[in-house]
Amino acid sequence: MEQFRVNGKRELTRDILTGIIVALLSVPLSMGYAQVAGLPPQYGLYGSLVPVLVYSLLTSSPRMVFGVDAAPAALVATLLPELSVAPGSAEAPAVMAAVTCLTGLWLTLFCLLRGGRFSKFVSEAVLGGCVTGIATVVILAQAPRLFGGTVARGRAPALVGHLVRELAAFHAPSFALGLVTIVVIIAFRRQTKTSMSVVMMFAGIALNALFHFERYGVELVGAVPSGLPAPVAPDWAPLSRHAEGVAIETLAVALVIAAETLVTTKEFAHRNGERVDGRRELLAFAAGNLAAGLFGSSPAIGSLSRTNRANKQGVGSQWMGVSAFVTMGLFLLFGTPLLSYLPAPILTGIVIGSLGTILEFHLAAHFWKVDRPNFWIFAAAFAAEMLGLAEGVLVGVVLSFASFTMQVSAQPSYFLGCMEGHEGFFDLAKVPHARPVRHTVLYQFNGPLFFATIDGFERDVSAALRGDTRVVVVTGVLSVDIFAAERLLHFYEALKKRGIAFFLAGHAAAVNEQFMAYGARALIDEGAVRQRLTQALNAGGLTPPYPLEWGGGKETLRRGNAAVEAFLWAYGREAEPRLNRLTRELAECLLSGAEVEFEKLIPAELELVGEYWNSEDEKEWDGLLEMYLSASPEKRETNREAFLALSMGLSEHRMLLERQLLLGGNQDLLWKFLLTRKEKEEAFREAHPEMSGFLEEIRRQYMELLRQEDETLSEFMIAFGESPERAREKYLV
């Protein structure tokens, strides 16, 4: 039983103390949630006794807290009235026992069917929307008790209407107590490990004993029966009269318990380097709910708020659960008389304050900024919960699968090319210096081919075909279904009739097994599948270095800088503004004096672009000229070609710098840069007239490079050489 493993007495003591805190925190919360569900408050305490022990004995998680909580309480809140049972009545526990046991049976079925695997399809947006919607509904239901009103049940519009009507009986002292409780819990929840909910519960009891708030019209929780709970015989008769509706409602509750708790359990396990068994967790949920049903409690779930509290205390084992069980038992035996002194607004404030910790509106705001589709999924799940709880859960499940399907269908796919002077294949859309392989389409698909993606796949590849295309290679396919396999075989046959060789490369061997199973064996038998992309190209008659296509008009540099390409690939949309910043800093550094202060520039560039920049690209022209000048005339002549080759690399960097300034809108800085460079070259010619021929050859070389690579910049530089002012008027805004 790994969930009980501890390293020494210190950890055992910590977990036992955490269990005591969890049990005391469960007292006000479980009572409040019991009332939300339509039960007398003591049945919330019963749901935090035996079910907690049962769960701790069966779970694989050493740190999850189990018990009565907001989500299932809100989901079953409308069930009792629908079954013609008065909330809070003597009949309510027996009917609720049947509801909870049925939920446990659904969870047992999930366990047998290995339903835990489906929790991975519940997206963060769906779960966040559902949890936030449920918490908001419970807050709306409880809010009237803050100012002396009554708890309501139903959907959000009805709850808002009830809240407005109850304002007519607004009681200021009650509201003050409830509001202070909420403010204290929220304000101090991050500042201390102490549970402020427990503190406020005992503070409310102590203050009421001193000041007798009931004298001022404040409602008290009232007497709560002492003693351990007796088993409750489930009353199935009301459920049988509404069998279909109850089955759907309890299925929705079971789905929420399974999805929310499994996701939360795995998240906490991941944070702490642990592993949990999804099937075993479902068994523990099922057994815990059957135990809760046997004592008349509403369905139980892993509590996010109490689990957060336990983990803040540093819990590491389910000795916490055993300790919580013992503590709750002792409280039921000896502590319940204290509850008769607890003001109801403080109890309500504790419930609302704790629910406030699981509201995830911040997640919706984040999605709005960075991921609009997930924002709308969050909003839909939230709205569904607000408008109809059981229906909302089912909408959330549908949204989860829809979200998963959309994400799989929208896997980023792109076309590949090569870059002269560099090995490998590059995204043509992201790497400016990459060019397509001649007569060839290279397509990186990056996802499964199935009924929802095969249309887009065929559309992309077909659009890329041209009259001279001879080879198509697709890589990155993760899997295929029977529908996609059939379509892919037809697509292969159609291309073959057009004289185009089609290959699938770089996929796992399991994909070939799927082709054979789904009737597309011909792809394998006829050699259309290859283990690697290079093998597919070789089969299509292409060997390195691959012939590249070069279009007309304005071209990017043919021979790119690998570090810059890696930087563009890594940062995507952020690459351009980052490069602009670096370019400005480099230009300003060149303008500041005769020498570039590399010891200052290199840290700045590393801060901007990290490991992707090559500091060799900042070599300055003056350094090259001084090196050449310092050599003897014999050395100069002997090494002339080497110096010219080195100057070509510097010319490429110089052109990159100027283009960045021109295209990035830094035209004033470009103007200053060119004037400064012109003044330096003129001063250098005057001081060293013997270097004029070398400078002219470098300039001719540079202008030839410009003419090939950037026609606009070439025209500007020619005009600048003739008349800087006229060039500025004509080309610079």
pLDDT of residue 357: 77
Strand positions, DSSP E, 250-336: 300-302
Q: Are 381 and 130 in contact (CB under 8 A)?
A: yes
pLDDT of residue 421: 66
Structure tokens at 549: 């296509």
Instruction: Note the CATH number of domain 411-539.
Output: 3.30.750.24
Q: What angle do CA 551, 554, 556 make, to 5 degrees?
A: 80
* Neighbouring C-beta atoms of residue 582, cutoff 10 Å: 21
pLDDT of residue 566: 57
pLDDT of residue 397: 67
**Which of the residues in the chain have pLDDT under 70?**
116-122, 388-394, 396-397, 400-401, 403-411, 421, 551-670, 673, 676-677, 680, 684, 688, 690-691, 694-695, 709-710, 731-733
Give the distance from CA 274 to its chain's centroid.
20
pLDDT of residue 267: 81
Domain ranges for the chain: 8-400, 411-539, 562-731
Radius of gyration for the chain, computed over Cα atoms and rounded to the nearest angstrom: 36
pLDDT of residue 65: 95
Give the distance from CA 168 to its chain's centroid.
44
pLDDT of residue 408: 63
Q: Measure the CA–CA gap between 181 and 605, rounded to whole angstroms.
A: 52
* Neighbouring C-beta atoms of residue 173, cutoff 10 Å: 16
How do residues 380-392 score in pLDDT, each as one tens digit?
889 888 876 555 6
pTM of the model: 0.65
How do residues 38-93 score in pLDDT, each as one tens digit?
899 999 999 999 999 999 999 999 999 999 998 888 888 878 888 989 888 899 99
Can you say whether the dihedral through the CA atoms of 267, 271, 272, 275 is positive or negative? positive
pLDDT of residue 514: 92
Q: What angle do CA 274, 320, 346 make, to 5 degrees?
A: 120
